[in-house]
Structure 1
């Protein structure tokens, strides 16, 4: 199977399967794994959860985000 055939075959996949495939392909390009990156992401995620739980920041629904994006300036 050549690249063009692979591309055509992927068009029949669901959006989530295509996203997973893209992730796997991109991950396969990484030759080094930096443990510090994983730790930094985990720390950031924990901080954001804490901010939500304490009320320091407010969760926005997708509808609110879209509304804000449509507003001028």
Structure 2
């Protein structure tokens, strides 16, 4: 999905599952955002760090402890 922030268009910064698989129905109607594809995203005033790699959309804050998948060498986890 793309979003408009002010007068700027940001392409391919979010995704959603219109018809989630069984067991994941709670994801229907929710949108997830790749923080690394935007200028800045915050949680409670803290600027989040994007999860490494281009595939994952994880939001890393000081309250979250790794290791985090996506960095070189983590493909086989």
Same fold (TM over 0.5): no
Shorter-normalised TM-score: what interval?
A: under 0.3
Task: State the TM-score, normalized to the length of structure 2.
Answer: 0.23
Question: Considering only CA atoms, is the larger Rg found in Structure 1 or Structure 2?
Answer: 1
Question: Which one has the bigger strand percentage?
Answer: 2
Task: State the TM-score, normalized to the length of structure 1.
Answer: 0.23
Question: Which one has the bigger helix percentage?
Answer: 1
Q: Which has the higher contact order (CA 8 A, sep 6+)?
A: 2
